Amino acid sequence: MNTVPPAATWGPWEAELPACVWRLPRHSRSVGRARARFRSQAGRWDLAEETAETAVLLLSELVTNAVRHGHVRGRHIEVRCVLAPTVLRVDVSDAGRGVPVLRQAAAEDESGRGLTLVAALATTWGVLPRRHGIGKTVWCEISR
């Protein structure tokens, strides 16, 4: 896990890259909505199927974590996807103060594998303070 994005990937020119941003309520239905919106966006971007499906899975895990652990009532989750020449960046921001921790789930655990999946499938991932306000942004990059 990284606490800052790789310097070689992101810079002041990031604002010029194709991107999409959605605000979603902190509700379990938002996980499916995020997947559907991303699939639609992936089609507009003409993303390779493997990249798109990996992104849908990781986005689903990150939004699920934000819904479960972003404990501030009335706050929304923000999803931001940025299409760079060599990677797709997925950011999920919530108002929760806690920082996610990569852990090994026991065989009998019903949850706790989301970040393990993110760490395994993403090129890199990390956590940053939220751009605007209270909370954090958990991000990952997927090679294109």
CATH of the domain at 90: 3.30.565.10
Task: Please tell me the predicted confidence (pLDDT) of residue 9.
Answer: 47
Mean pLDDT, the chain, rounded, equals: 85
- Give the range of the structural domain holding residue 122, as residue numbers without chain letter: 17-143
Q: Is residue 11 part of a domain?
A: no
The pTM of this model reads 0.85
Q: Residues in the chain with pLDDT < 50?
A: 4-9
Q: Is residue 10 part of a domain?
A: no
Task: Please tell me the predicted confidence (pLDDT) of residue 46.
Answer: 97
Task: Please tell me the predicted confidence (pLDDT) of residue 12.
Answer: 56
Q: Is residue 130 part of a domain?
A: yes
Q: Is residue 133 part of a domain?
A: yes
Q: Is residue 12 part of a domain?
A: no
- Total Cβ atoms within 10 A of residue 92: 26
Q: Is residue 105 part of a domain?
A: yes
Q: Give me 74's structure tokens.
A: 């009335």
Total tally of structural domains belonging to the chain: 1
> Which residue has tokens 């996807």?
81
Q: Is residue 24 part of a domain?
A: yes
Q: Give me 103's structure tokens.
A: 């852990």
Is the separation of the CB atoms in 43 and 35 below 8 Å? no
Q: Is residue 2 part of a domain?
A: no
